[in-house]
Structure 1
Amino acid sequence: MTDTLNNIVIVGQGAMGLLWYHHLSQQRLNNHRQKVTLLASNQALLDKAALNSAKYQLTPYRQEQTKSYSLKYSQKADINSANIIILCLKSFHIASAVERIAKDISPHCLIILAHNGMGTFAGVRKLLPNKQVILAMLTTHGCFRTAPLAITHTGLGQSDIGLLAGELSNEQQNRLTNRLNLALPHVSFHQDIKTKQWLKLAINCVINPITALNDIDNGEVNNKKFTKQIKLLLVEIIEVSKKEHIDLELSELQAVVHKVANATARNCSSMRSDTRAGKATEVDYINGYIHSLGQQNNIATPENSRLWQQVLNLNHSLNRE
């Protein structure tokens, strides 16, 4: 890892990718030059004029005025010199995105995986050198895309980061955390990011499929008619998590799910948004991940398995209409 963290590549032109790109690129660093670029899936289709004149739009949190900003797309040289690469993608695009750029990534670059669900790390690690630093980032910021290259920041949140592979000294951890925290606070580094991942996974296993299958806002998950189903989902998750040496408590998970559903009561979950738009969901990496681990460990997960299949079937039926 280099002393400076000023060359950053954001992969993904979705809501979260553009949000991080905006805040990192707008940040002013004393006595340091920085370069923040965005690697988009469709930029190969753009001609030179379109690449050089690209702009994106942002409506800041609790503001009505939308502003336009210049967008710098990543080139091969930017990936070669990147100190940090943040992958803000759907879970099912993570491995293929890393595979496309793996040969251009410096062994000293920090790779940050920012996505919903779990199950991508093993595939990513195989594509990179053994000593490559790979981190997970979980965020609770609310943001949605209103049009291509146009986003609205709908809720202030926090981000948690932690090591999945490689080594960072305490000084390096602090430097990385401060770099991100100055751009889009509040960012915290965790020595045990895996427990944080499981906590978020449990929340997603409840709120995402229930809202998608019932076409409801997040807050309606707290309706008493879902209480029994939520308990069944969480009990299965706790049993599977024990095999991963994760200790979760049912009462704590129930309280957290209730709190998140209440705090995001008027929000439309990402899975519900995807099914409404006829897009693929991340359910394979959410309830499907619990199903897969259950099978591997001979643990029955009937409720998670059922919702996993129902969401897949919902997608198929909507795509046929």
Structure 2
Amino acid sequence: MTAELDNIVVVGQGAMGLLWYHHLSQVNANGKKKVSLLASNQALLSKEQLNSASYQFTRYQQDHTEGSQLNPQHKYQQKSQISYPLIYSQTADINCAEVIILCLKSFHIADAIKKIAKDINPHCLVILAHNGMGTLAEVVKLLPHQQAILTMLTTHGSYRDTPLSVSHTGLGQSDIGLLAGEISLSQEQQLTSQLNCALPQVNFHQDIVTKQWLKLAINCVINPITAIKNIDNGEINNEKYSEQINSLLTEITAVSQAESITLLLSDLQLMVHKVAQATAKNCSSMRSDTLAGRSTEIDYINGYIHRLGQQHNIATPENTRLWQQVLNLKAKP
């Protein structure tokens, strides 16, 4: 076993970034490890603000029986928020980081890497945690070829109430795996162990790409339809959407096969149904973004299927249509 991965940098002050920062920093009771947060706005903070920063965290209420990724409209947790010190990352932290976890929107990943690439240790494990696919092609061009680049897929629910206040709204699990570069067995075991100590359950997969495709397929259905129709996740299971869902998933299975990934239409149909049912009252991330007037990750979800379809000369009319519809939602005043 190699030495423990003592220096961890979390990039991103969104809900998922603060969730992982909190849990990773809380297992550092002995003070030997250092966990810091790299935020996009910290350059605007004074030295005093940087040194005295804090955030509020609300733990998941164990007696709340609803599924993960609960509707953020639930405010039942506010009464138990606790304040914790926040350590912002400096250049020296990037230099010595053994793990960097980028909890960002997919369209921010490449820009974030560009800003810190020259400071990243070539032996550092870089973990991409975002929705959708397509960022890897951009990232590998920015880092040394031997850099270990991993992905992390999570089903934990979190909601940022204010810029530095986050609630853990639903228990889930995380899947990680290597996308590029090399990682030793001891590093793999150490990383999995430390992430598990912070926010279980974490599983390492040798074939993480198939896991990515499964999550992508679900996102290609639930995210755009809920955003366009302005509905909760559970309404996806209404019979009137079944034909559209089948069209989306049929196109995805055809494109995945061209990418040497085998997905079964029946499996995807069942998965979409189960996820929609388990998160029935939830507001999807894409719907939340459109309602708030924010950019969405549609280019890396249905847009990714569209681009791969073009590359492989496979028609993807339904995915293409939803991709364009969501882009038009963003364009509306």
TM-score (structure 2 length as normaliser): 0.93
Shift >3 Å, 4+ stretches: none
CA deviation string 1:87-121 (max 9, x = no partner): 00000000000000000000010000000000000
3-state SS, counterpart of residue 127 of structure 1: coil
Alignment partner of 1:59 is 2:58: yes
Query: 5+ unaligned residues in a row in structure 2: which ranges?
Result: 62-76
Letter aligned with residue 161 of structure 1: I
What's the CA shift for 1:43? 0.4
Partner residue of 1:173?
188
Q: Which one of the candidate residues 105, 109, 114 is aligned to 1:94? A: 109
* Matching residue within 159, 172, 177 for 1:144: 159
Total equivalences in the alignment: 317
Q: What CA distance in whole angstroms lies between the structure 2 residues aligned with 1:61 and 1:215?
A: 27
Alignment counterpart, residue 196 of structure 1, candidates 211, 214, 222? 211
Counterpart among 142, 147, 163 of residue 127 in structure 1: 142
Q: Secondary structure at the match of 2:262?
A: coil
Measure, in 1, the Cα distance between the counterparts of 2:60 and 2:200. 13
Two-structure CA RMSD over aligned residues (Å): 1.2
- The DSSP-based 3-state class of the residue aligned with 2:226 is helix
Determine the structure 1 residue equivalent to 2:33: 34
Q: Distance in 1 between matches of 2:173 and 2:324?
A: 32
SS at match of 2:19: helix
2:141 match: secondary structure? helix
Equivalent pair of 1:219/1:266 in contact (CA under 8 Å): yes
- The answer to whether the 8 Å contact 2:309/2:316 transfers is yes
2:298 paired with 1:283: yes
How far, CA to CA, are the matches of 2:272 and 2:328 in structure 1? 25
Alpha-carbon contact 1:2-1:108 (below 8 Å) kept:
no
Could you tell me which of 310, 318, 321 is aligned with 2:325?
310
**Aligned AA for 2:99?**
I
Q: Deviations over 1:239-281 (max 9, x none)?
A: 0001110000011000001111111111111100000000000
Match of 2:225 among 200, 207, 210: 210
Which consecutive residues of structure 1, in runs of 5 or more, have no partner in the other structure? none
Q: Which has the higher contact order (CA 8 A, sep 6+)?
A: 2
State the Cα deviation string for residues 200-257 of structure 1 (Å, max 9, x = none).
0000000000110011111111111111110000000000001110000011000001
Q: What is the CA distance between 1:29 and its match in structure 2?
A: 5.9
TM-score in terms of structure 1 length: 0.97
The 5 A counterparts of 1:295-306 are 295-306=310-321
Using the aligned pairs only, state the percent identity.
70
Q: Secondary structure at the match of 2:126?
A: strand
- Mapped partners of 2:230, 2:54: distance in 1: 34
- Tell me how far 1:170 sits from its aligned partner: 2.2
